[in-house]
Structure 1
Amino acid sequence: MGLSIVKWVSSTALLLASGVALAHPSHEHTSSFMAGFSHPMGGFDHLLAMVAVGLWAASLGGRALWAVPAAFVITMFAGGGLAVAGMQIPFIEQGILLSVIVLGALLLGAKRLPVMACAVIAAGFALFHGAAHGIEMPINADGLQYTLGFVSSTVVLHLMGLGLGLLATPLMTRIGGSVIAVMGLLLVVS
């Protein structure tokens, strides 16, 4: 039963993510919710980092299954709010790219850290992702709908990573981490 739910969530997330994993497209959606929902899925850097958070949480197991993604989502929400309120968060794009590389490296190295440390790492990176979402909110968007959109898609991407991580062997997870880290490095040089 549990495995079929994981397969369903992963399949749904992959379907939702298909075709939109191309760097930050324009936001000409008519719905504020859809503009927010598409933003994390529309940027390859966001997509990689958010799936990596789910994979990492799955590889850690136990309390990390919920604590790491929850820390990410809560801090991302706060980062978005800070950006909308006009607070300047320095090095946003660099922080996002660093999140992809570091999360991939943590998966590759299969490093076991305390759950609290993992949640703090995820939250630190989430601040940059949230700030990017807040800054790129369309001027005419409803802030609440937009926020619910980017939070919802982030949860879907985390669930996709969790599902993939729970189905994968440790070796497959490490290979996935290496691919994520290399993709992050390629994004830096492109």
Structure 2
Amino acid sequence: MTRIALTAAALLLPATAFAHPGHVETAGFAAGFLHPFSGADHLLAMVMVGLWAGLLGGTARLALPGAFLGAMALGGALGMAGLALPGVEAGILASVVVLGALTGLTVRLPLLAGMGLAAVFGLLHGHAHGTEMLAGSAAGYAGGFLAGTALLHGAGLALALPFAPWARRLARAMGGATTAAGLALALVG
């Protein structure tokens, strides 16, 4: 019996890797608000945007989350309209990996480049949300997932507070390792 249970669990485990396995409730503000908390992919990416922005400090603290949220709203509208974007699920997975690396290495991209990257990832996450919206409840659901996302960005910003000065000192000490070229070398090396 234990072998059957373990086999069943092992067979079901890969399904958790999918960003959107088919949520039952996709109507209203509450469903939209809870959605970003329902999968590790959304949760990690959205917290990482706030954490990376908080570690960078300055204008990035509002600019990166703002770019993510704005593009997420656009992506949600595109998804709800039925317009397909290529590679959404792969892009969502990439967002977790890339944002984790950027945060872990405290990579300092030019502000517009960081905003652009956050916006691309926001567009993909928003599209995934938008394809799940029910037409009659789009405004409530969209407002909910934007509010939930903003809360997760805020959590990342709060997590960065005690580490930001240390991370900035480390980034200055590491020099080239925290630039875009340094990130590329770290990822391939």
Q: TM-score range by the shorter chain?
A: 0.7 to 0.9
**Residue of structure 1 in register with 2:160 after alignment:** 165
Distance 1:110 1:146, change over 3 A: same
Distance 1:30 1:65, change over 3 A: closer
**Residue of structure 2 in register with 1:53 after alignment:** 49
SS of 2:85's partner is coil
Distance 1:84 1:24 in 2: 15
Q: How big is the shift at 1:92?
A: 0.8
Q: Which has the larger radius of gyration?
A: 2
TM-score by length of structure 2 reads 0.73
**Residue of structure 2 in register with 1:154 after alignment:** 149
Structure 1 stretches (4+) deviating beyond 6 angstroms?
A: none
Do the aligned residues in 1 keep the contact of 2:69 with 2:150 (CA within 8 Å)?
yes
Q: How big is the shift at 1:29?
A: 4.3
Q: How big is the shift at 1:38?
A: 1.3
Q: What runs of 5+ residues in structure 1 fail to find an aligned partner?
A: 1-22, 175-190
Distance 2:160 2:136 in 1: 35
**1:16-165 map, 5 Å:** 27-29=23-25, 32-137=28-133, 139=134, 141-165=136-160
SS of 1:111's partner is coil
**Matched AA of 1:147:** A
- Which moves more between the two structures, 102-111 or 162-171? 162-171
Do the aligned residues in 1 keep the contact of 2:20 with 2:128 (CA within 8 Å)?
no
Distance 2:23 2:113 in 1: 35
Q: What runs of 5+ residues in structure 2 fail to find an aligned partner?
A: 1-18, 172-189
Q: How big is the shift at 1:115?
A: 1.1
Q: How big is the shift at 1:66?
A: 0.3
Distance 1:98 1:38, change over 3 A: same
Alignment identity in percent? 50
Q: How big is the shift at 1:34?
A: 1.1
Write the deviation string for residues 48-98 of structure 1: whole angstroms up to 9, x where unpaired. Answer: 000000000001100000000000000000000011111101111100000
Distance 1:145 1:110, change over 3 A: same
